[in-house]
Amino acid sequence: MNRWLSIILVLLAISGAAMAKPDLSQPLGPTLADRGSPHYRFSRHELASADGQRHYRIWIATPVQAAPRAGYPVLYLLDGNAALGALQEAQLADLARRGPPVLVFIGYATDLRFDVTARAYDYTPPLPGGEPVIDDIARQRLGGGADVFLDLIEQRIKPLVQAQAPIDLMRQSLWGHSYGGLLTLHALFTRPASFQRYIAADPSLWWQGGFILQEARAFLTRPQAFDLTLLTGGAVRERPPAGKNEDPQVRARREAVAALPANAAERLAEQLATAGHGPVRYKRYADLGHGPMLPASLGPALRLSAGDDEVITRWISK
């Protein structure tokens, strides 16, 4: 009995750790794009970056339901492989009842859920002065390509989507989680007219010592209408005490996160709301860690893009 109890406890511990941290090496596996849906048609497209170093896989999900007169609303989803893997048929059925948006999953040409090297470059902002950006977590990964990537969305991906379906250009949303949430905020703070709604899930505010918070302060000095939803996880995974054998990447992220106040995201939402230039919604999922926030935030993002503002129960401002 004791032996089996020990085995069960070990399995539970492994399961808990997996739930707390996203497995960046996990294969994508079959998705709704492969299985099909009665509510959406999926098409797949391949693109390469201008320098040929990064390769993208774009899935466009177009509603079967006819477009409204102004065109479909559209939701662009970063980390498209993982987002598509988390998408559920029940969510598409719900969207069909609400007035479905076109869904654009911006992923990478890999069988994995994430391309960690490519996203580290694409999703992190450049630093002032054009100095090289080295990823905080893995020193061999370059960063700072966010503006190049946002240009790719604007100049190549959006025209591709608009060629597939009629789009309401006044109802475009952008969603991202983690580094994708960081990019979502950077897009809002530097080119707010690119999308009408920004949805950032557990964004990596700690990146480069809170650099994105500096961008937020500069943004607040310029009157500009915006619509932001900020979703964060509240669960803290217990870690063993740091020691000489601690994984360097684990140590780097732990130290970077610890350098910011625990309520940094909520404070950011309150500061943005105080500006009074648009709605700011904030919700903290107290029982969820960083990894589970990806699928948890996907449902609200889908409904927000369809016009369901009340899916987020707490509004900082209206």
What residues are annotated to the active site? 178, 290
DSSP string covering 122-137: HTSPPPGGG--EE-SS
Residue type, 175: W
Q: Which of 92, 109, 110, 114 is nearest to 101 (CA)?
A: 92
Please count the other Cβ atoms lying within 10 Å of the Cβ belonging to residue 310: 9
Q: Which of 299, 312, 303 is nearest to 86 (CA)?
A: 299
**Cα Rg for the chain, rounded, in angstroms?**
20
Contact 283, 234 (CB under 8 A): no
DSSP string covering 230-288: EEEE------PPP-TTS-HHHHHHHHHHHTS-TTHHHHHHHHHHHHTSS-EEEEEETT-
For residue 50, what are its two tokens?
């201008």
Q: Among all chains, which residue has been given the structure tokens 């803290």?
A: 236
CA–centroid distance for 265 within its chain: 15
Residue 29, φ and ψ in degrees, nearest 5: 75, 180
